[in-house]
Amino acid sequence: MKTKKLTTLGLSVALALILSYVESLLPPLLAVPGVKVGLPNIVILFLLYRYGWKEAGAVSLVRLLLSAALFSGFAAFFYGLSGAAVSLLGSALLKQTDRFSPLGVSVAGGVLHNLGQIALAALILDSGYIFAYLPLLLLSGTLAGALVGLLAGILIRRTDVK
C-alpha cells in the first residue's frame, strides 16, 4: 500500500471517529433511541468513491471498533456492524452501476443501514414486533442519507474524485 493511501486511510479513521464522538454528544433526534444522522458515513461514502468498497469497509470497521471501545460499548458495535455491512454492500452495488449520484447512493445506504440494524434486533429479540419501528427508521434513514450524501457529494466534487 502506498504511503499516501495509507496516510489517507489513517486520517479517515481519525476523522470518522471524531465525527462519531461529535454525534454522541448530540441529543437524540426525534427523541427516538438509535436515530442518528450518521456523520461518520460522510467519510465512508467519500472513501467508497475515492478508493472502493474494501477501503471504505476497512475504515468503517476500525471506526466501529474504536467507537464501541471509547463511546458506546460492544452491543452497539454489533448493531453498527450489521447496519454498516448491509449499507456498504448496497451502496457499493449502486455506485458500480454509475446510475446514482452520491446523494442517491447515500440515501439507499441510510435506509439499508436501518434495515440491517432492525433485522439484527428482530433476531436478537426473537420478535417481529420490532418491525413496527420500521416506517420511522425508513424516514430517518432517508433524511440522514440525504444529508450525508449532500455533504459527501460536495467533498467528492471538491477533491475531484471520479
pLDDT per residue as tens digits for the range 16-33: 999 999 988 887 765 566
Q: Which residues of 31-62 are buried (b: 16+ CB within 10 A; e: fewer)?
A: eeebbbbbbbbbbbbbbbbbbebebbbebbbb
pLDDT tier at 162, thresholds 50, 70, 90: low
The full set of domain ranges for the chain reads: 3-158
Mind listing the pLDDT tens digit for each residue in 81-123? 999 999 999 999 999 999 999 999 999 999 999 999 999 989 9
Vertex 115: Cα angle to 21 and 93 (nearest 5): 90
CA distances from 109 to 5, 105, 132, 148 (A): 24, 6, 21, 10
Cell of 138: 425508513
- In angstroms, rounded to a whole number, what is the distance separating the alpha carbons of residues 2 and 85? 26
Q: Which CATH number fits domain 3-158: 1.10.1760.20, 3.40.50.720, 3.40.190.10, 2.60.120.10?
A: 1.10.1760.20
**53-67 vs 3-25: helix axis angle to the nearest 10?**
40
pLDDT cut 70: percent of the chain above it: 94
